[in-house]
Chains A and B, each alone.
Chain A
Amino acid sequence: MKEIYTAPEMEIVEFEAEDVITS
């Protein structure tokens, strides 16, 4: 039995430079 279809969705999250964790 086939699964009910849901349209594919993606959320693309681009990190900002200040999100980079620095000791």
Chain B
Amino acid sequence: MKLNPKFLTHETKGEHITVSTTGTKFNGLIRSNPTAAFIIESLKSDTTESEIVDKMLEKYDVDRNTAEKDVASIIAQLRRIGAVIDGSQAH
């Protein structure tokens, strides 16, 4: 899975924004705190939930269960608005 290329990210003054462009059902933007931004940035290359969790464990002082739960929640929200695409869609 990966971030839908029709969603663009921008960081300014410490604020991370993801914006939909034309051709997406969702029309709006996503404001993320640094941890959510880390997950979104990880999705810029084809990856899996467990790979993102591993990266989180390397970077943050967090236990695996918490990281797994939080990553799954963020990805579910992104998937719901079409910001995450899977498998054949990602290539």
Instruction: Please report A residues at the B interface, Cβ cutoff 8 Å.
Output: 2-15
Contacts and interface: CB of A to CB of B under 8 A. Distances in A.
A10 to B, nearest CB: 5
Nearest to A12: B30
Given A2-B58, A14-B27, 10 more contacts: A2-B60, A5-B62, A7-B70, A9-B36, A10-B31, A10-B36, A11-B32, A12-B29, A13-B30, A14-B26
B74 interface: yes
B59 A2 contact: yes
Interface residues of B, number: 26
B45 interface: no
Contacts of A9: 32-33, 35-36
B17 to A, nearest CB: 10
B81 interface: yes
B51 interface: no
A12 B73 CA distance: 13
Contacts of A10: 30-33, 36, 74, 77-78
